[in-house]
Amino acid sequence: MGGFRFDTSYARLPESLFTRLPPEPVRAPRLVVLNEALASDLGLDRPALTADIFSGNRLPEGATPLAQAYAGHQFGHFARLGDGRAVLLGEHLTPDGRRVDIQLKGSGRTPYSRSGDGRAALGPMLREYLVSEAMHALGIPTTRSLAVVATGETVLRDRPLPGAILVRVAASHIRVGTFQHAAAEGDRPALQALLAHALARHAPEAADTARPALALLMATMEKQARLVAQWMGVGFIHGVMNTDNMTISGETIDYGPCAFMDAFDPGAVFSSIDRGGRYAFMNQPVIAHWNLVRLAEALLPLIDSEEDKAIVLANEAIQRFPALFEDAWLHVFRAKLGLSAAEAGDKDLVEMFLKAMADTGADYTNSFRALAEGQPMPVDPRDEAAFGPFLAAWAARLEREGATADRVRPRLLAANPAIIPRNHLVEQALGRAEGGDLQPFRDLVAAVTRPFAPRLEDARFRLPPRPEERVQATFCGT
């Protein structure tokens, strides 16, 4: 245990990829929540875990603060962006040999802030903390949250709000949009250096292949296919799958207007700014594919020096995404149904279940969990007609591999969470936290970080919202 051990390889990249600058000091930093388990995994102990350090008021030894430049397609429109309210403190080397970014989000203005104030509000930072930690506990790759500090300052949104900074931990913050930035700059050496950096961190096995850029594209496609399939397994809607919010590491990043579904609706959209439903639940694989085409475009000059040849090769690769996604999706849902082997009709079987849920507006999480807990299914007995054919087909399918629901129960329980961060509970907890009462937030964090092993007293976290509790939209809350 000890302090930060920084070795920031990103700071050694060409200068067009970032701007060095310290975080802007804040008035009265106060630690609101600290992730002790994560701190311990990172080999950090008390002297490194202070409000002074997490607010950026004091730089830990070896820190090389910088804001990263990136671009991105936001709702389909290209924009030059960058860390407008975040700085990378540095890359920390963990005792078990990992290299992780330590980033302060909400740390003040940067050259990429445009008209923004560089700050963040407490509610949205607590939201990111809660949902990212839930995601991790669900076994889904994600950036992590080490701490939230209140700044003692007020940020002005639609109303004055308490300001805060989130300490984010990530395998890296390299985004599809980072490559788009380097490509848009027309800075070939920077693009090349970024590729080498990304390969070293996320696909070292691809570095020695004949076409490393193509290999990175393939590796990223595979990770994103698995990630989006896992999101869909738990009913997660990211909400802003812009190319600047898609990582090369395959971690979920940027928890803005995201939400977990209660009642299953394939077209569900929560983000208040997503009017066209671009990032609706069922559209996520299509958008992931679209974003990866943007990555392929940015990588073209590194795929082959002859553009025509590069395009042919990139196209061949990118066309494989739908099949990669379907494999990943089947992998997730076979596990959710307790199936070990693969059968041709498995996709239809899963879709039968999804359709029964969609037709009856059944709760996504609780319906899958009911299969696992061997409770009477459907959850609402009035829906028997809708679920009957699926239940019969599922039993027959299990029997064909010599199994029964009872015998695969341990596997079902491990693949179907009982507890997700339900939106109405998140909103309630954040509302109370803004008023100064952190207990509901702490209780909710505790519950969502043991999603597969609920305790008796967790029953209230498993209930879908009553009609009057239903949250219709979530906001970026920037």
For residue 6, the cross-strand partners are 92
The least distance separating ligand AMP from the CB of residue 266, rounded to whole angstroms, comes to 25
Q: Does 245 bind ligand AMP (CB under 6 A)?
A: yes
Identified binder of ligand AMP from the candidate list 2, 116, 186, 345, rule CB under 6 A? 116
Q: Does 19 bind ligand AMP (CB under 6 A)?
A: no
Footprint on residues 67-96 left by ligand AMP (CB under 6 A): 81-85
Q: Does 217 bind ligand AMP (CB under 6 A)?
A: no
For residue 120, the cross-strand partners are 164
**Catalytically annotated residue among 45, 101, 117, 244:** 244
The least distance separating ligand AMP from the CB of residue 273, rounded to whole angstroms, comes to 9
- The single-letter DSSP state of residue 325 is H
Q: Does 383 bind ligand AMP (CB under 6 A)?
A: no
Q: How far is CA 438 from CA 33, 175, 428, in A?
A: 9, 33, 11
Q: Angle between the 439-448 and 122-137 helix axes, to the nearest 10 degrees?
A: 20
Identified binder of ligand AMP from the candidate list 21, 403, 414, 476, rule CB under 6 A? 476
Task: Quote the CA–CA distance of 469 and 424 in Å, as a whole number.
Answer: 6
| 380 given a catalytic annotation | no
Q: Does 222 bind ligand AMP (CB under 6 A)?
A: no
Residue whose CB is less far from Mg ion, 142 or 245: 245
The least distance separating ligand AMP from the CB of residue 58, rounded to whole angstroms, comes to 23
Given a contact cutoff of 8 angstroms between Cβ atoms, the answer to whether 81 and 93 are in contact is: no
Closest CA to 4 of 76, 84, 80, 58: 58
Given a contact cutoff of 8 angstroms between Cβ atoms, the answer to whether 263 and 253 are in contact is: no
Q: Does 113 bind ligand AMP (CB under 6 A)?
A: yes
Is residue 308 packed enough to be buried (19+ CB in 10 Å), middle (13-18) or exposed (0-12)?
exposed
Given a contact cutoff of 8 angstroms between Cβ atoms, the answer to whether 405 and 440 are in contact is: no
Of 237-245, 271-279, 366-374, 434-442: span binding ligand AMP (CB under 6 A): 237-245
Residue written as token pair 């990770």: 223
Neighbours of 205 (CB within 10 A): 9
SS3 198: helix
Given Mg ion, ligand AMP, none, residue 478, with its beta carbon under 5 to 8 Å by kind, binds ligand AMP
Given ligand AMP, Mg ion, none, residue 361, with its beta carbon under 5 to 8 Å by kind, binds none
Catalog residues that contact Mg ion under the rule CB under 5 A: 245, 254
Footprint on residues 409-468 left by ligand AMP (CB under 6 A): none
Q: Which residues are catalytic?
A: 244
Query: Rule CB under 6 A: which residues touch ligand AMP?
Result: 81-85, 112-113, 116-119, 240, 244-245, 254, 256, 476, 478
